[in-house]
């Protein structure tokens, strides 16, 4: 099998380079991504034991030292405690960034065009999951460090009529456009050698499940009979290796290195919006929420397991009876008495869980370090610990949540830029197909995010009056206050 990459000669993509990129992706990127996902989910994995017994072990156990996980002959297994601090912190970030509906504001010059663009963008996102799509993108970006939003235009026909399309016809066409969230394990980019910020081609490589059975079929049984082998491989679901290459001029799809689709890209650009969760200068990949927390998560799980083992060994008191007949035959319990005539008899108590200030201090400091690195405190997830003092509720909450609010603002800027780029690509595609004529300056669409925390009602009403004085339309203000339809898009007020 060989790849037919002549259409990609303009970006110098050869078969040798493509195979090298796929090999590096499978050997380096995929194991790292599987580790990040396992620490986020902490999914329990089956571990075969003695006698056919299947034991279940959490994924984060892999980060514990051998002294806790290594089995010792004749000794019971040690206590293992896993507290997944990574999972709830990542989910909290997603809730703050994209926990509520997102509206879009068009900056087109004409009010009518801005209204049409707003309805087009709203129909595009509603057809692709709306808020759920954005939440999925933020979650995958938080886990893997970056995420790609791919605009699929396979079902977008070209309009030959010269008259403008009706709104309903236009919206039906827009609903056929698909936005695909492409996570890091499935895709990698061929970057421009002179500008790392420019993508020459997006390469999607993954294994796809087929609705077929591999092994255990008729041909397998015939082959087994011919070789006189009584051992047959168990049937399993078949898979296909899919490789898709998208450049600014061409698109190809291979299945098991066989070309199944070869078509030109009429757009003239790669329809991918790349979003870094946290920016890494001069790199295509970003930094997520999971990777910096893995060492501290391992340390926390180790200390919690050590404390559990200490409590198990020391939590029960032991009694040593001297000079008392039958002391070991009768259990120790409330109201239990022993009578003896031996004046030298005694009962000594030892053991029990003793206080360990250094251990508790170390665990507390590890948790505080996780709070500082992630900027997500237990208060952000609903655990009230902060001392609010005499401040008002909103001010106290903002001060206590300063870290997560700053992170939310930064992430909304990054993901908002990606969403804006995606909307501009969709509008450009509609313009090229003849469905909605727009100029490049009219394709600026900005997301309108809802406040991450509840606001004071009096403050909201005061802000509404200020917006009215600035010239914001009344229907938009009423919609934001919840007395009308959800705001779609409106042009920026004249200054």
Q: How would residue 484 be classed by pLDDT, with cut points 50, 70 and 90?
A: low
C-alpha pair distances (Å), 13 with each of 7, 264, 315: 9, 16, 66
Residue 213 has pLDDT above 50, yes or no: yes
Alpha-carbon gap, residue 380 to 292, rounded angstroms: 19
- Give exposure, 241-268, as e/b (b: 16+ Cβ within 10 Å): ebbbbbbbbbbbbbeeeeeeeeeebebe
Alpha-carbon gap, residue 295 to 277, rounded angstroms: 20
Q: For residue 91, what are its two tokens?
A: 């989910």
Residue 216 has pLDDT above 60, yes or no: no
Residue 132 has pLDDT above 90, yes or no: yes
Between 179 and 79, where is the model more confident?
179
In 158-230, where does DSSP find H-type helix? Answer: 167-174, 218-226
pLDDT at 364: 92
Residue 205 has pLDDT above 80, yes or no: yes
Residue 353 has pLDDT above 70, yes or no: no
Average pLDDT over residues 71-92: 88
Are the CB atoms for 125 and 133 separated by under 8 Å? Answer: yes
Q: pLDDT per residue over 257-287, tens digit each?
A: 899 999 999 888 999 999 999 998 888 899 9
433: part of which helix (H) or strand (E)? helix 402-433
Q: How would residue 246 be classed by pLDDT, with cut points 50, 70 and 90?
A: very high
pLDDT at 311: 82
102: part of which helix (H) or strand (E)? none
pLDDT at 10: 92
Residue 95 has pLDDT above 80, yes or no: yes
CA angle at residue 378 from 101 to 60, to 5 degrees? 95
Alpha-carbon gap, residue 461 to 414, rounded angstroms: 29
Average pLDDT, the chain: 85
Residue 200 has pLDDT above 70, yes or no: yes
Q: pLDDT per residue over 403-435, tens digit each?
A: 889 999 999 999 999 999 999 999 999 999 889
Cβ contacts of 432 within 8 Å, gap of 6 or more: 266, 267, 268
pLDDT at 492: 46
pLDDT at 489: 46
Alpha-carbon gap, residue 248 to 270, rounded angstroms: 5
Residue 22 has pLDDT above 60, yes or no: yes
Cβ contacts of 126 within 8 Å, gap of 6 or more: 175
Average pLDDT over residues 202-215: 88
Alpha-carbon gap, residue 1 to 22, rounded angstroms: 15
Residue 85 has pLDDT above 90, yes or no: yes
Average pLDDT over residues 338-364: 82
Q: How would residue 494 be classed by pLDDT, with cut points 50, 70 and 90?
A: very low
Q: For residue 1, what are its two tokens?
A: 């099998």
Average pLDDT over residues 360-378: 91
pLDDT at 490: 46
Alpha-carbon gap, residue 31 to 185, rounded angstroms: 9
Radius of gyration of the chain (CA): 31
pLDDT at 493: 42
pLDDT at 220: 53
pLDDT at 491: 45
Q: How would residue 222 be classed by pLDDT, with cut points 50, 70 and 90?
A: low
Dihedral of CA 418/419/425/428: which sign?
A: negative
Are the CB atoms for 99 and 443 separated by under 8 Å? Answer: no
């Amino acid at each position: 099998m060989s790849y037919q990459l002549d259409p990609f000669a303009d970006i110098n993509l050869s078969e040798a380079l493509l195979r090298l990129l796929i090999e590096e992706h499978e050997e380096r990127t995929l194991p790292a991504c599987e580790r990040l996902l396992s620490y986020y989910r902490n999914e329990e994995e089956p571990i075969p034991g003695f006698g056919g017994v299947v034991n279940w072990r959490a994924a984060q156990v892999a980060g514990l030292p051998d002294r806790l996980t290594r089995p010792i002959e004749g000794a019971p297994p040690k206590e293992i405690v896993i507290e997944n601090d990574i999972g709830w912190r990542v989910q909290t970030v997603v809730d703050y960034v994209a926990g509520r509906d997102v509206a879009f504001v068009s900056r087109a010059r004409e009010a009518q065009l801005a209204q049409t663009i707003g309805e087009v963008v709203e129909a595009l996102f509603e057809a692709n999951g709306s808020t759920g799509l954005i939440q999925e993108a933020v979650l995958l970006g938080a886990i893997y460090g970056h995420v790609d939003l791919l605009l699929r235009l396979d079902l977008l026909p070209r309009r030959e009529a010269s008259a403008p399309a009706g709104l309903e016809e236009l919206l039906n066409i827009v609903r056929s456009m698909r936005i695909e969230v492409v996570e890091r394990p499935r895709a990698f980019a061929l970057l421009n050698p002179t500008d790392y910020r420019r993508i020459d081609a997006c390469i999607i490589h993954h294994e796809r499940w087929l609705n077929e059975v591999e092994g255990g079929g008729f041909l397998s049984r015939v082959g087994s009979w011919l070789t006189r082998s009584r051992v047959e491989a168990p049937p399993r679901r078949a898979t296909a290796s899919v490789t898709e290459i998208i450049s600014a001029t061409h698109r190809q799809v291979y299945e098991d290195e066989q070309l199944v689709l070869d078509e030109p890209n009429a757009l003239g650009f790669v329809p991918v919006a790349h979003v870094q969760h946290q920016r890494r200068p001069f790199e295509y990949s970003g930094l997520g929420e999971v990777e910096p927390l893995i060492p501290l998560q391992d340390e926390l799980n180790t200390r919690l397991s050590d404390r559990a083992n200490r409590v198990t060994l020391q939590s029960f008191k032991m009694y040593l009876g001297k000079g008392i007949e039958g002391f070991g035959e009768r259990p120790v319990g409330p109201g239990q008495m022993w009578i003896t005539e031996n004046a030298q008899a005694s009962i000594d108590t030892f053991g029990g869980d003793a206080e360990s200030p250094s251990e508790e201090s170390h665990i507390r400091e590890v948790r505080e370090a996780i709070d500082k690195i992630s900027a997500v405190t237990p208060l952000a997830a609903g655990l009230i610990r902060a001392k609010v003092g005499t401040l008002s509720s909103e001010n106290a909450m903002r001060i206590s949540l300063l870290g997560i609010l700053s992170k939310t603002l930064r992430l909304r800027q990054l993901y908002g830029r990606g969403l804006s780029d995606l909307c501009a690509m969709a509008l450009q595609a509609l313009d090229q197909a003849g469905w909605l004529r727009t100029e490049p300056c009219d394709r600026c669409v900005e997301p309108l995010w809802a406040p991450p925390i509840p606001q004071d009602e009096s403050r909201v009403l005061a802000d509404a009056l200020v917006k009215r004085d600035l010239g914001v339309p009344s229907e938009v203000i009423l919609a934001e206050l919840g007395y009308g339809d959800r705001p779609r898009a409106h042009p920026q007020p004249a200054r």
